Amino acid sequence: ALTWDDTRKISSYITPNEQTISGFAARVLAAAGGRERISLSRKIFQAMRLSDSLGTYGIAYVEDPESPFSRALGKTEIVDTGRFPRMTLYNRTGDCDDTTALVGSLLESVGIRTAILTTPGHIFLAFDSGEPVENVQYLSNENLEVVSRGGRAWIPVETTILSQGFMAAWASASSLVRKHAPAGSFEFIPLSEMRDAYPALPLPPSSIT
């Protein structure tokens, strides 16, 4: 459990080296077989595969009834139950912080850098597309936003609607970015900047297959 006075705490729940997570990601990408001819960067293709695999697998959004993230963000008096990604996979349910930690763990496990995004009462993520910021114009349109940070193009993903597919998750996250970034009610924190303060919590070997 944790309090959400510091968004960076979610870094401890992002566990890309945990065997259940790394094994799931490896099997998903191996199933692609490398046969597709793609014009997108490989990182975008891999992120699409991993996100869609969770929708196919049946990950569903279920808000924590006792301490929903929408009330807990920024509060020290509300204790939230955090679930490790392997348990979210096992249960096939989670709230926005659970699914964000899960997707972030899967992407990081295959070398795709991630960042945590928050808007008032909500948390989601973005990943480094592997494309330079000069290519933002080719990735974005009236429905899809790309966040420019550190000379790279980052794609936002809404992790609570994975059952609708990657493109829907990108479009939904884009609407949040478009609404809140200009108003300043928006956080963008790369995982790499959280790790010194909040490293991944060590977990014992899992019996989950």
The residue type found at 151 is G
Residue 79 burial by CB count (10 A; 0-12/13-18/19+): exposed, middle or buried?
middle
Which residues sit opposite 132 in a β-bridge?
Answer: 152
- Residue 203 half-sphere exposure toward CB, CA atoms < 13 A: 20
CA distance 181 to 111: 27
Average pLDDT, the chain: 90
- Residue 166 half-sphere exposure toward CB, CA atoms < 13 A: 15
What DSSP letter does each residue of 121-185 carry, written as one string?
TEEEEEEEEEEEGGGHHHH--SS---EEETTEEEEEE-GGGGGG-HHHHHHHHHHHHHHHTTTT-
Spatial contact of 93 and 5, defined as CB atoms under 8 Å apart: no
Residue 77 is predicted with a pLDDT of: 65
Residue 8, pLDDT above cutoff 60: yes
Residue 123 is predicted with a pLDDT of: 94
Q: What is the pTM of this model?
A: 0.92
CA distance 122 to 18: 26
Percent of the chain residues topping a pLDDT of 70: 89
Higher local confidence (pLDDT), 162 or 67? 162
Backbone φ and ψ of 182, nearest 5°: -65, -30
CA distance 127 to 44: 9
Residue 67, pLDDT above cutoff 60: no
pLDDT band at residue 37 using 50, 70 and 90 as cut-offs = low
